[in-house]
Chains A and B, each alone.
Chain A
C-alpha cells in the first residue's frame, strides 16, 4: 500500500515547476515585539510564486529581474504590499489587524457574513490546536475545546463517542449532531476518520447556526474541513511524515475486598466452593488466602502506533492533498487486538477556467476491530479472588487435552475471563468510502452557481463466534459446548445532491448577498443477519457449519429521502451591522403523509459597537442576537402502522400517524464578542431553547392491541450560558503563552409530558435508573433512598417513636436495637404518600470548564496542555451495585473498622439490583486530558536544506484525573445511538477509557 501511495505522490509532484531570475531576502517581524514571525506568506503579486518565512521570520524569494510587488500576509496581521524595485533585502514589520482576527466563513451562514459579523455563536477549532495532540478520531480531538460541547468517549477502540451539543433536545431520538465532512453529511459517526487531515472544525451548536440543515438540525452540526492544497501558495508543496508510538495504560483499579464473611475449610484456609456457611457475626473480615487482583491480568499495557504521510501541493491549475494513515490501537484488554485502521484521503481541486472550479474529496477507510466481550469486565471484579485463572484441567470433551479451567468457581455465574477471552471472539470489519465532487461556476462577477454530489458508503460486518466445545456459561445457553455464531451485515449508502446559487452585490456601504438552494438527500440502509446455535464440527466457525435446525434470519431495510429548498439573505452595512435571514422548506419521507413539509427559519443580527463608539481598552465589541427553529426528525418506522413480523407471524405493534412531524427547537440566543487589551478575545452567549412537539411513543390501553403510537407531544426547555476566552498572555522573543478557556452551564427541564412518567435507561439490563417526568431534567435519577435523618422516619410513619432509631457512623438511619448487631441495616425512605422511589441524583453537571495552554519556549519548544473540569453531574454505578451483590466492593472489607458492618447491611444497599441511592456518586472531575511537548529541530541552523522541519514530540492523553468517583473513569456512558450517552451516565462493566503516552516524530519535506 505504501508503494501505491508513493506512486500517487510522485504523479502529482510533476505539476509544479517555475522559473526565477534574481533573489530578494529579508526578515518579517512582529511590529509589537520585534520578534521574527514564522510562517508569513510572501507572494510575488500577480504570479504563483511565493513561500513562507522560516522560524526566525527569514525568507528568500526569487523575483523577476524587473522587480514587482511582494505581498506579505499572515493571519491576525494586516497584509502589506511592498514594491521591490531594485532592492535585494526587504524587511517588513507587520502590525496586528484586530478586525481580521476571526474573519472566517462559517458553514451555513448567509454568504458575505463571516465570524466578524456573525449574529450567533459557533465553536471553532483550528487544525493547529488539534495537531498538537491529534486524537484517534475527531471526537477525541474536540473534547474540552468548545463551550457547550459534551463528548463521552467509549474506551473500546474503534467505538463512536457520544456527543451532545448544548442541552437535551429529545426524549427518544438521541442527541447525535449532524456530521459534515468536506460538505458531505455523513452517517455512522466519527470513529473512522483520522485527525491528522483536519484543517478546521466548526461546531454549529445552536439551532441558529445549524438552521441551514433544517429538520435534522436541532442537535447541531459538526463541520469538519480537511486539508487542501489550496491552503498553500501556488507552486508550493510539502510532504509530511508522522509516526507516533505509544503505550496504553489503565492507571486506576477499582478497590476490591479480599475478605469474606464465611467459615473457612480448615484444609484450604478458604471457604468451600458453594455451600458456604456465614460467620456468626456476618462480618467480612477473613482474608482469602493468596488473593489475586484479576484486574492486573485483564488490563495490559499495550503499544499502539500511528503512521501518517501526506503530500500537499498547489500548482497553477490544480491543488492536491493526498494522505494515508495506519493506526494500530490494541487497547488494554488481553487477548484482544483492538482496532487496526487504514485511511486514505485524496482531495484534488482543479481550476478548469476562470469561471469554473472543481473540487473533489475522497476518503476510504478500512478497519478491523476485535471487540472485547462484556463479561470479562464483570468476572474480574466479582469472581472470588483466590482462584488461579491459568489453572489447566482436563477438557471434559477430550480428557487427553488440558484446557484452562472455564469455571474456577462452579457455584457462581462468573466464568474465567482468560478462558472467555482466549476462546470466543467478536470482530467488526468496516469499509467506508466518502467521496464528493463540487463544481463552482461563476457566470457573472456577482453570481456563483454551485453543484455538489457526494456519497458515503459504509459497510460493516460483525461476527460473534462461540467456538465448538466452549465450556463456560457466559454465553447463550444454547451455545454452551456446541458453540454458535451471529453474523450481521450493515450497509448504508448516503447521497447528497446540492445546487446553490450565490449572489453578491455591493450598493455603496451596503453589501447584499443571497443564496438559493435545492438539496436532495437519500439514505438507504440494509442490514441482515443470521444467528445460529451449534456447529456441526469444531475448527470451522462459519455459517455453513451451523447445525441449528432453525437459525434466526433477520433483515431491516430503510430508505429516507428528503428534498429541501431554501433562500438566504445576508446584508452587511458599513461592515458594521449585519442581518442574516434564512427560510427553508423540507419535504422528508420520514414525516407523516399528511405532514410532509416542514418550514424553519433563522433571523440573526449583529452590531459592531466599536465601529461607532470608542471604548478604552476595547478594540472590538460586537453584540448579536438570533432566533431560529430547527427540527428533530422521527425515526424511520414512527409514522407507520406496524405489525412486527417474526418468523412470518404478524403481531400488532404501533398505530400509524400520518400527522407525525419533526420536533421543533425554537432557540433564542444573545451574546457579545469582545476583543480587549489587545490580547483577550471573549465570546459570551446566553441561549434559551424550547423543543416542542417531542416525538414520543404514546402508550395505548392494552385493549387496543397496539402497544403505542408515535405522536408529537411534550416539551423540553433548556437555558444556558457559554463563555469562551482566548488570550495571548505573554508574547516575547523567548516565551509565548496563549491560553483558551471554555465554560458552559445549562439548565434543562421537561416542561410538558402528556404521558405517564416512565423509567428510561441505556438499554443495558436493569439500567433504568432515570425517570422521565414533568418538572424534572432528563437525567434525574429516581431510586430507593436510604434515610439519613431521623425526621425522614416520620414522613413514612408519623406514629414512629424516634427513640427506636439512631444514625450510625456512616450517617444512615438504622434501628437502635440493631446497631452494631448482625441485623444492622439501612432503612429506606418512604414519603407521606407511601412513595418508595425518590429523586436521588441528576447527571447534569453544574458546569463544564476547559482550559488549554500553549507555551512556546525559545521558539522551538511548544508545550500544550488541556485541562477539563466537570463540576457536578451524578453517575449511577451499576458496577458497584454488582460488586456489592457479590461482596467484592472494597468497602465490604471490615478489617480495622471501628464500627464494622455486617454483610446484610451492604446487601440492603444492593437492593436486589433495583436503583439505590447508595450507588449514586458525584461525577465531578478535573482531568489533564492532553499534554504535548513538541520540539522543532532548527534544521536551517544545521544547514539541512533537504528538509523543511523535524518535530519531535511527546503526547499524553487522559494523563491525570482528579475525582472522588470510585470507578475507572468518571467519564461514563453506554448505549446505542438513540441513547444520549452524555446524559444517561450509568457505569456498568464497560471498556474503560485509558491513558496513553506516546512519542512522535514528524518530518516535513
Chain B
C-alpha cells in the first residue's frame, strides 16, 4: 500500500506540473532587437551592409557571366550563367521563373538592395534616437549617419550599373507601399546614388571619425578616406551607368571631374576571410595555380582583349582552332598580369569562338591567396582613369589627364608616357586601354559596365543590362521582360 501511495503521488505530481518551457530563444541568429539593442550593436550593424556591398561585386554571380557576355573574358563552362550569357549569336537572358540562370540575375539585385536596406535601418535608428550614439566614450552619431548614406548610395550606384530600373529606398520610404510605380530607371538611380554619396562624403568631411576595421574587413579608414571612397563610387555611378557610347556623351563630366579630383588615392583592399570577404571574380575570372599545383581555370581572357593589347593578334580565335601563339606587345603587364597557356581545355564542340590561350593571372597567381590577405577590389587607378576621362571629355587639363593615365600606363605597363598633347581620341583610347587592361577582374560587373561604353566593343544582340529578376517582377505584378538576343 505504501508503494501504491508513493506511485500515486508521483503520477499526480507529474500531471499537475506543466513542464515545458515554450519560450525558446534562437541562439544561432540574432533578431533586430538583438542587433539594435545597444549603441554598440547599432554601431556594429553596418558591417553586414558593407559585406552585402562587397558580395554584390565579388560573388560568383554575376561577374564572370557578365564579363563573358561583354567579350572581356571567355569560357565554355555552363556554371554561373557563363555559357548562357555568352552564346554567339547572343541569346536573350532567360529571365523566367523556370530559368536556370536565376541566381546569376538575382544575386547582385538582392545584395545591393540589402546594403541599401541596412543603410536605411541605420538612418531610421538615428531618426528615432534623439540622444547621441556613444560607443566606448566616442560619439559615433555622425559616423553612422555618413555610413547610412554611404550604404544607400553605394548599393543604388551598383544597381544603376547592372539593372534597368530599381527602387530608391530611404527612411522616408514606406516599404509597404512600394509598387511597380515606385520603380525608377537606371539614370535616376545613378543620380540618387551620386547625390547620396556626396551627402555621405560631406558628413565625413565635416566630422572627424574612424571607420572601424570590421566595416570594410580589416581596413581602418579615416573619415577623409571614407569621404574619398564615397566620391569615387559616386563617380562610378555617373560614369558607368551609361549603356552606350551615346550615353557616355550625356554624362555630367564636370561633376565626375569634381568627384574624382577628391576621390581615392589608395587601393581599397579589404582583408579576405574566406567567408564574407573573398572575390570569385579573381578565382573564376582568372587564376591558374592552387598552392603551386596547376589547376584548370574557369575563364580566359577574350581574344578581343588580347587584340586590344596587340592589334596584330586576331580578335577571334582561328576557325581551324590552330593556336594563334603569343601576343607581341611592349606592355610589361602581358608578362606580369597574364599567363600564356599552350593548350585550350574547353571542349571544342562548344564553339571555337570561346577559345583563348591567355589567363588573367594578376591577382590570383595562387587561388588561395586571399584568406588573411588583401583583396584589391577598387583601385586608385579606376578613380584616376575616370578623372582623366572627365578631364578629356570636359575640356580640362589634359596634361593632368596624361599624368593620371601614365600612373599605370608607364609605372606598370612600361609603355611610352603620354604628354597631354595628343588628340582627345588618342587620350581616350589610352583611357579605354588602361581601364580594360589595368582594372580587369577588380570587381564583378565592371567589365560589362566598361565595355558597353566604347564604340564597337559589344556584339550586336549582347545584352547591356540585366532585367529585374523574374520572381521579383511577379511579386510586383509586372510582366516578365528581358534583354539580349
Which residues of B are interface residues toward A (Cβ below 8 A)?
A: 3-4, 7-8, 10-11, 14-15, 18-24, 26-32, 34-35, 44-45, 47-48, 51-52, 78-79, 83-84, 94, 96-100, 102, 109-110, 113-114, 116-118, 120-121, 167, 169, 173, 175, 178, 214, 273-276, 283, 290-296, 321, 323, 342-345, 347-350, 367-368, 371-372, 470-472, 474-476
Contacts A497-B19, A552-B275, A757-B98 given; does A701 touch B475 at CB 8 Å: yes
* Known A643-B48, A652-B48, A652-B118: A699·B275 in contact at CB below 8 Å: no
The winner among A520, A563, A641 for most chain B CB atoms within 10 A is A641
Interface string of A339-372 (1 = CB under 8 A from B): 0000000000000110110000000000000000
Q: A613 interface residue, CB < 8 Å from B?
A: no
Bound CA span A443–B470, Å: 67
Q: Are B371 and A478 in contact (CB under 8 A)?
A: yes
Do residues A757 and B97 form an inter-chain contact, with CB atoms below 8 A?
A: yes
A102 at interface by CB-CB < 8 Å: no
CA of A640 to CA of B28 in the docked complex: distance in angstroms? Answer: 11
Give the distance to chain B from A928, nearest Cβ to Cβ, in Å: 39
Q: Which of A635-652 contact B (CB under 8 A)?
A: 636-637, 640-652
Min C-beta distance of B219 to chain A, whole Å: 14
Q: Nearest residue in A to B52 (C-beta to C-beta)?
A: A651
With an 8 A cutoff between CB atoms, is A596 at the interface? yes
Q: How long is the Cα–Cα vector from A705 to B121 in the complex, in angstroms?
A: 9
**Chain B nearest CB: distance from A429 CB in Å?**
24
A587→B98 contact, CB < 8 A: no
Minimal beta-carbon separation of A894 from chain B (angstroms): 14
If over half of A's interface residues share one DSSP class (helix, strand or loop), that class is named, otherwise mixed; here it is mixed
**Residues of chain B with a CB closer than 8 A to A520's CB:** 19-20
A451 to B118, CA, bound (A): 52
Stretch at the interface among A32-40, A232-240, A271-279: A271-279
Give chain A residues whose Cβ lies under 8 Å from the Cβ of B214: 648-649
Chain B: CB-nearest residue to A757 = B97
| Contact A480–B295 (Cβ < 8 Å) | yes
Name which of A111-119, A717-725, A908-916 contacts chain B: A908-916
Which B residues lie within 8 Å of A652 (CB)?
48, 114, 117-118
Q: Knowing A699-B475, A703-B167, A758-B471 are in contact, say whether A557-B27 is a contact too (CB < 8 A).
A: yes
* Cβ-defined contact, B97 with A353, below 8 A: no
Of all chain A residues, the one with the shortest Cβ separation from B101 is: A914
Q: Which residues of chain A have C-beta atoms less than 8 A from B120's C-beta?
A: 705
Q: Interface residues of A, CB < 8 Å — how many? A: 99
> A550-B372, A703-B113 given as contacts; is B471 within 8 A of A756 (CB)?
yes
Contact yes or no, B169 A703, CB < 8 A: yes
CA distance A525 to B21 in the complex (A): 16
Contact of B51 among A477, A651, A757 (CB under 8 A): A651
A643 near B32 (CB under 8 angstroms)? yes
State the Cβ distance, A367 to closest chain B Cβ, in Å. 28
Q: Which residues of A contact B274 (CB under 8 A)?
A: 478, 550, 552
Write the chain A residue with the least CB distance to B369: A478
Check: A25 CB closer than 8 A to any chain B CB. no
A915 to B: closest C-beta gap in Å: 7
**Chain A residues with CB under 8 A of B350:** 907
A412-B83 contact in complex given A589-B24, A650-B35, A702-B110, C-beta closer than 8 Å? no
Whether B290 and A705, one on each chain, are in contact in the complex, defined by CB atoms closer than 8 angstroms, is no
Chain B residues in 8 Å Cβ range of A534: 291
Q: How far is the CA of A522 from the CA of B32 in the complex (A)?
A: 27
Tell me which of B276, B344, B349, B470 contacts A649 (CB under 8 A). Answer: B276
State A637–B25 Cα separation when bound (angstroms): 10
Residue in contact with A477 in the complex, picked from B178, B283, B471, CB distance below 8 Å: B283
A835, CB-defined interface residue at 8 Å: yes
Most chain A CB atoms below 10 A, which of B20, B45, B102, B167: B20
Note all chain A residues with C-beta closer than 8 A to B10.
451
Interface pairs (6), CB distance under 8 Å: A533-B368, A640-B29, A643-B29, A645-B30, A651-B276, A703-B169
The 8 closest A-B pairs by CB, nearest first: A705-B117, A912-B78, A702-B113, A563-B20, A642-B29, A837-B98, A274-B343, A651-B48
- CB atoms of B24 and A642 under 8 A apart: no
Partner of A756, one of B52, B97, B275: B97
CB <8 Å contact, A640 and B31: yes
Contact between A656 and B22, CB atoms less than 8 A apart = no
Task: Determine whether the beta carbon of B290 is less than 8 Å from that of A699.
Answer: no
* CB neighbors of B among A516-562 (8 A): 518, 520, 522, 533-534, 548-550, 552, 555-562
What's the Cα separation between A702 and B113 when bound, in Å?
A: 6
Most buried by B among A559, A560, A643, A759: A643
Would you call B29 and A277 a contact (CB within 8 A)?
Answer: no
Contact residues, A441-476 vs B (CB, 8 A) = 441, 443, 449, 451, 471, 473
User: Across the A-B interface, how many residue pairs have beta carbons closer than 8 Å?
Assistant: 246
Residues of chain A contacted by B78 (CB below 8 angstroms)? 912-914
Name A838's closest neighbour in chain B (CB-CB): B98
A68→B485 CA distance, assembly (Å): 97
Most buried by B among A699, A702, A707, A914: A702
| Residues of chain A lying within 8 A (CB to CB) of residue B32 | 641, 643
Residue A836 at the chain B interface, CB threshold 8 Å: yes
Verify B97–A758 contact, CB threshold 8 A: yes
Q: What 0/1 pattern do residues 751 to 774 of A give for CB contact below 8 A with B?
A: 000001111000000101001000
Q: In the complex, what distance in Å separates the CA atom of A560 from the CA atom of B26? A: 10
In the assembled complex, A803 has its CB within 8 A of some CB on chain B: no
- Chain A hits for B97, CB < 8 A: 756-759
A480-B293, A705-B114 known; A443 vs B20 contact (CB < 8 Å): no
Interchain CB contact under 8 A, B293 and A441: no
A47 to chain B, nearest CB (A): 26
A290–B325 alpha-carbon span in the complex (Å): 34
State whether B117 touches A646 (Cβ < 8 A): no
Contact A645 B349 (CB under 8 A): no
State which residues 598-613 of A face B: CB under 8 Å: none
A757 CA to B102 CA, complexed, in Å? 12
Which chain B residues border A278 with CB–CB below 8 Å? 348-349
Given contacts A482-B291, A550-B273, A641-B31, contact A650 B48 (CB under 8 A): yes
Contacts A477-B367, A650-B45 given; does A439 touch B7 at CB 8 Å: yes
Q: Which chain A residue has the least Cβ–Cβ distance from B100?
A: A914
Closest chain A residue, CB of each to CB of B91? A836
A1 CB-CB contact with B under 8 Å:
no
Which residues from chain B contact A701 at a C-beta distance below 8 Å? Answer: 167, 175, 178, 472, 475-476
* A353 to B350 alpha-carbon distance, docked (Å): 81
Q: Cβ of A561 and Cβ of B7 under 8 Å apart?
A: no
Q: When A413-B296, A499-B14, A835-B96 are in contact, do A563 and B117 touch as well, CB less than 8 Å?
A: no
Q: Which residues A489-508 have CB closer than 8 A to chain B?
A: 497, 499
Chain A residues positioned under 8 Å from B22 (CB to CB): 561-563, 587-589, 596
Minimum distance in angstroms from A529 CB to a CB of chain B? 13
Residue pair A756, B474 in contact (C-beta under 8 Å): yes
- Bound form: Cα–Cα A640–B35 in Å: 14
Indicate whether A688 reaches chain B with its CB closer than 8 angstroms.
no
How many Å from the CB of A448 to the closest CB on chain B?
11
Query: B29 to A518, Cβ gap below 8 A?
Result: no
Extra 8 A-B pairs, beta carbons < 8 Å, given A560-B24, A699-B475: A477-B283, A480-B293, A482-B291, A533-B371, A587-B20, A643-B31, A701-B476, A759-B98
Measured between alpha carbons, how far is A640 from B24 in the docked complex, in Å?
Answer: 10
A651 to B169, CA, bound (A): 18
Q: Is the CB of B291 within 8 A of A480?
A: yes
User: Complex Cα distance A441/B6, Å?
Assistant: 11
Interface centre among B15, B45, B293 (most CB of A within 10 A): B293
Decide: B345 and A412 in contact? CB cutoff 8 A. Answer: yes
Residue from B102, B109, B117 in contact with A704 in the complex, judged by beta carbons closer than 8 Å? B117
Beyond A473-B296, A563-B20, A836-B94, is A549–B51 a contact (Cβ under 8 Å)? no
Contacts of B295 in A (CB 8 A): 473, 477, 480
Closest to B97 in A: A757
Q: Known interface pairs A481-B292, A756-B474, A836-B94. Does A275 touch B26 (Cβ–Cβ under 8 Å)?
A: no
Contact between chains at B96 and A705 (CB < 8 Å): no
